[in-house]
Amino acid sequence: MNPAALRAGAALRLPVIPARPLFALLLLFILNACSSGAPAATPMITVTLPAQPSATATPFGPQGTYEATPALPPWDEAPTLVATPVATGVPPAAAPIPRPAGQVSILLLGSDQRPDGGSFRTDTILLLTLGDGFVSLVSFPRDLYVYIPGWQMQRINTAYPHGGFELLADTLAYNFGIRPQYFVLTNFTGFKDIVDSLGGIEVETARALTDQRDGYPNPYTIGPGLVPMDGDTALWYVRARYTTSDYDRLRRAQEVLIAIGRKLLSLDGLNRIPELYSLYRASVETNLDLEFLLQLAPRLHSLDMQHVERYEIGAGQVTPWMEPESGAQYLLPKPDAIQAILQQAVGLP
């Protein structure tokens, strides 16, 4: 892909964020939403789809200075479904995106699994890349309709429940040419415990949010601006689904992620890696071990004056589509546009 694809409107590139609290991005991440929040019905696209699968349950394993985040511009809202007939089937495998030696990529995953277990999906999928002097973060919408290798065409958020991290990594490699090396996964309870263990966080909200909230008789409103949040409020903020689109939830998830990182920074997180790893290990499932994090710490310190480049796979990289028989709504990826974003995210020109 060349930069012209991005200049043509393929990517929404967000303001840069100071990158010092990157330890938080390795251990913690934000849940997005657990229910569909689909846009209103619109003309349908005719296409034949495989039957919906049943999700396979996977057990879970085991005050400082604050600098406000610059206000973000509005993210893309959900686009209108197009009426042009589209045929879709198993796509060809994407060309691998070259990766510089030593680059580290980590999937940050949030699931909707409840304390009583059962089936779940990974409705938050963010790709963190640590490169030579830079850091990037890419958000993937949960409804991307992709080929899950060895299984079928289906939403990307079903890959992990069906086959764990390896299958989700294979799915990203097959469809978009990029394969992450590591992952971190948590659920609702683990997320709230993490935020509360920090004594709460302060989130720089780009826009006001008014939405329904359990336990409150009237719609609940917060923002814009700096908002203190405990774990329950932060979880509501990133999951609110009645008045906004999935794209807006991607923005809110990144805002909370940055707030967690800043709080850890104020607690001298990079110098307390063993202590914090032990504290949060019970709240997450990951293939990152303590030895690797300790080896990575000098690189994180060296990124103090660099920036996090933030991207989303948004309206410019997908075609909305409704399954005619069930009315289920999906996002058909535009592979070239998505690969153009990912090439930028890994530092390629």
Q: If pLDDT is split at 50, 70 and 90, which confidence band does 44 have?
A: very low
Does residue 59 sit within a domain? no
91 vs 25 pLDDT, higher one: 91
Domain that holds residue 331: 3-47+70-345
Residue 198 inside a domain? The answer is: yes
Query: In the prediction, which pLDDT does 269 show?
Result: 64
Query: Is residue 65 assigned to a domain?
Result: no
Can you give the pLDDT at residue 171?
Answer: 98
pLDDT at 107: 94
In a domain, 60, yes or no: no
For residue 338, what is the domain's CATH number? Answer: 3.40.630.190
In a domain, 116, yes or no: yes
Confidence band, pLDDT 50/70/90 cuts, at residue 334: very high
Residue-wise pLDDT for 67-81, tens only, equals 333 333 334 444 444
Residue 189, in any domain of the structure: yes
Q: Highest mean pLDDT range out of 17-21, 26-30, 50-54, 150-154? A: 150-154
Per the domain annotation, does 63 fall within a domain? no
Judged by DSSP in three states, 173 sits in helix
Count of domains for the chain: 1
Output the pLDDT for position 68: 30
* 92-106, 214-228, 300-314: the lowest-pLDDT one: 300-314
Does the reported pTM lie above 0.85? no
Query: Each residue of 155-208: pLDDT tens digit?
Result: 999 999 999 999 999 999 999 999 999 999 987 777 888 888 888 999 999 999
